[in-house]
Amino acid sequence: MGLEYIKHQNTQFVKQGAARLGFDFCGISKAEFLEEEAPRLEKWLSENRHGEMKYMENYFDKRLDPRLLVDGAKSVISLLYNYFPAQKQNKDAPKISKYAYGQDYHEVIKNKLHEFLQYLKEQIGDINGRAFVDSAPVMDKAWAAKSGLGWIGKNSNLINKENGSFFFIAELIVDLELETDGPIKDYCGTCTRCIDACPTEAIIAPYVVDGSKCISYLTIELKENIPSEFKNKMDNWAFGCDVCQDVCPWNSFSKAHQEPMFTNQNNLLTFSESEWQDITEETFQIIFKKSAVKRTKYKGLKRNLQFLKTKKP
């Protein structure tokens, strides 16, 4: 068997394995330095668009070159996993992002990635690889776009032409040479709905988000008090924000996920405003034990709820 045939066969194993584990889309890129991203990332950091997310300044080289993360890396396998819910939250209550309705995606997706890597080793043989899901210095949106899973929209989210943007992005970086997929064109066109709708005007220019103004940053990453300039601008979001995705026309194609672990099991979505405001630390620990909401901790959630309640004079 020739090398090209083996490469093709291994690529088929990758695509089949991804589908078998429930990933909605799978694309492959050559593991190399992200030349176009480097100046953009440097500029974004130098303008302090990352606010207090100082970890974004760490491992600059590793963020841009997967070969520094995995010895002998040859391919980046990018994967999308749908989280768009069929469930709706009580519209009068403080809001949480759709990705946090069910169990923490880090755990759910990471387990699937380890299973995926094991499957590839069984099919192909001993390969070296690492799994990533929003928890290491990997520019997941850039890799997903590079492998044709979508394009980076004006809200800086990856948008898939078939199903919109409510996806978790994950990667396997492997020392396996595979057939690569190319990028697709940008289909945002002249649309500015995400820019116009952002409650805090965090999308300061098409494709540029000031992270320090983003509601997701203010309710999750920021550890200090939320600046008073954002009073009455939070659109009742207590954890994260979906506004720029909700208004995106491409999300009219979103289909409800089929992952039981992303379905809310504890009546959280029916909570009234008073139930949210009266939540105790004990209740918080029970309800959010397996949820991404635990990232903001009880103190952070109470701060967010209090901030929503206090109106600017």
Instruction: Please check whether residue 294 is in contact with residue 279, taking contact to mean a CB–CB distance below 8 angstroms.
Output: no
Q: What would the two tokens of residue 88 be?
A: 């709706």
Write out the DSSP string of 20-71: HTT-SEEEEEE----TTHHHHHHHHHHTTTTTT-GGGGTTHHHHH-GGGTST
Quickly count: other Cβ atoms within 10 Å of residue 46's Cβ: 9
Residue of 134, 175, 181, 186 with catalytic role: 134
Residue 220 has, within 13 A of its CA and on its CB side, a CA count of: 18
Q: How far apart are CA 304 and CA 236, in angstroms?
A: 9
**Geometric angle at alpha carbon 94, from 279 and 85, rounded to 5°:** 105
Dump strand ranges (E) for the chain.
25-30, 75-82, 95-96, 129-132, 151-152, 158-159, 167-174, 203-205, 208-209, 237-239
Based on the residue annotation, tell me whether 126 is a catalytic residue of this protein. no
Dihedral sign computed on CA atoms, order 308, 310, 312, 313: positive
Give the Cβ contact number of residue 156 at 10 Å: 18
Burial 118-130 (b: 16+ CB within 10 A, else e): ebbeeebeebebb
Catalytic residue numbers read 134
